[in-house]
Structure 1
Amino acid sequence: MSTQKVRLEQVAHTRSGDKGNTSNIAVFAYEPELYPLLREQLTAERFKAFHREAITGEVLRYEAGNIHALNFVAHGALGGGVSRSLALDNYGKALSAAILGFEIEVPEALLPRLRQRQPA
C-alpha cells in the first residue's frame, strides 16, 4: 500500500491547557477514518521526542476514541510553570501549534479526507 507523508495539521487540530509545569494537549482527527493513523503513529514517545528539550518530564497519552482524539499530558513542559518562566514560547499553545508539524504517513486512499494547508 502506497503512503504519503503529510503534516499533522492536515489530519487533525489541537487544543491546549496549562496548569503549573504541566501542559495538556488534545489532538482531534478531522475525520473518524483518520483517527487510527493518530493512534498508531503519534505515541507519547514520539510526541516528547518531537518537542526535544521543551518537555523534561514524562508524557502520558490517553485515548478518547469516542471523539477521535488523543490527549497528551506533558509534565515538565512549561519551564517550571508559565508564571515562573521568561520563555513565553513554553506556553501549551506553542507546544500544541508546534506538534501540527509532526509528520504522519497517510495511505493514498485516505488522502481525499485530509484538510488542505492554508496559504500563509
Structure 2
Amino acid sequence: MAKIQLRNIVQARSGDKGNTVNIALFAPNEDVYELLINEVTTERVKAHFTGWVKGEVTRYLMPNIKAINFVCKKALSGGGSASLRMDNLGKCYASNLMRLEIEMGDVVAVNFSKS
C-alpha cells in the first residue's frame, strides 16, 4: 500500500482557546472521508504531537460536511498569555498535522498540493 501525507489529499484548519487546540480536516469526497475515519485516529494524532499535546485528544465526526474535528487538551503550555513558547497559539497545528502519513489503499483522491 502507498503512503501519502495528509497535505496531498485534504484541507485543514486549526485554532485555539486557552490551553486547547482544535484541528479540523476536510475531505474532498466520501472515499477520502472514510479513509480519514479509519487512518486518522485520536491515538495517531496524540502520537503525532508527542511532547506538544499533553492532555486528551477527542475526535468528532461531521459526515454532513465530510470533516473530522480533533480537540486537543493541554496543548499550548498553558495558553497564549501563559506560555513562554515561541509560537504559543494553535494556528500551526493544522500545518503540522498535514505531515502525518497514512496508508492510501485503493482510494483515489483529489490532490491539493501546489508542487
Q: Structure 1-normalised TM-score?
A: 0.88
Name the structure where strand makes up a greater proportion of residues. Answer: 1
Deviations 1:62-99 (A, max 9, x none): 10011111100000001100111121334212111100
Give runs of aligned pairs for residues 1-120 of structure 1, distance below 5 A.
3-110=1-108, 113-119=109-115
Does the 8 Å contact 2:10/2:28 carry over to 1?
yes
Q: Structure 2-normalised TM-score?
A: 0.91
Letter aligned with residue 34 of structure 1: V
Letter aligned with residue 71 of structure 2: V
Distance 1:87 1:103 in 2: 26
Pair 29,90 (structure 1): closer, same or farther in 2 beyond 3 Å = farther
**What's the RMSD between the two structures over aligned residues?**
1.4
Does the 8 Å contact 2:31/2:107 carry over to 1?
no
Does the 8 Å contact 1:44/1:59 carry over to 2?
yes
What are structure 2's unaligned runs of at least 5 residues?
none
**Is 12-21 or 81-90 further displaced after alignment?**
81-90
What are structure 1's unaligned runs of at least 5 residues?
none
Deviations 1:9-53 (A, max 9, x none): 112111112110000111111222200010001001110100111
Aligned residues, how many?
A: 115
How far residue 107 of structure 1 moved from its aligned partner, in angstroms, is 2.4
- Look up the SS of the partner of 2:91 in the other structure: helix
4+ runs deviating over 6 angstroms: none
